[in-house]
């Protein structure tokens, strides 16, 4: 399962309204970053074959099978501090992450 906080869902809804799109998002893992893998989240309105679909706080989340392998049991929050604003992935599968938190390794 993948979950999203109420604060993250509100941020997604506000961004969706500003961009005039649905509240659905695709959450994925891509190669790159200083630790080897990076998180990606973007608006999506199409469920692909094999996708796992989750819904939380009015947000539908699509996750492809390869990404799910890395993201299982991840919780997504939205964080605003003086040093950082953005989506934070609390991923119990990550064994190492970079200092900025945008990339990880398993």
Tens of pLDDT, residue by residue over 31-47, are 876 657 888 999 998 99
- Tell me how far CA of residue 71 lies from CA of 10, 15, 16, 89, in angstroms: 21, 23, 23, 9
- CA-CA distance, 97 to 63, in Å (whole number)? 21
pLDDT of residue 53: 96
| Confidence at 30, pLDDT banded by 50, 70, 90 | confident
pTM of the model: 0.84
Question: In this structure, what is the dihedral angle of CA atoms 74, 75, 78, 81, given to the nearest 10 degrees?
Answer: -80
Residue 62 pLDDT > 60: yes
Residue 97 pLDDT > 80: no
* Architecture per CATH, 3-105: Sandwich (2.60)
- Sign (positive/negative) of CA torsion 69, 48, 25, 9? negative
Q: Sort 89 into a burial class: Cβ within 10 Å, 0-12 / 13-18 / 19+.
A: buried
pLDDT of residue 16: 94
Domain residue extents for the chain: 3-105
């Amino acid at each position: 399962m993948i979950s999203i906080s109420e604060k993250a869902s509100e941020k997604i809804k506000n961004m969706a309204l500003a961009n005039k799109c649905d509240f659905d998002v695709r959450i994925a893992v891509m190669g790159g970053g200083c630790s080897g893998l990076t998180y990606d989240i973007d608006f999506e309105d199409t469920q692909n074959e094999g996708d796992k679909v989750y819904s939380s706080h009015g947000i539908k989340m699509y996750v492809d099978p390869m990404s799910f392998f890395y993201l299982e049991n991840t919780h997504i929050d939205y964080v605003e501090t003086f040093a950082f604003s953005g989506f934070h992935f609390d991923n119990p599968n990550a064994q190492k992450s970079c200092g900025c938190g945008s990339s990880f390794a398993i």
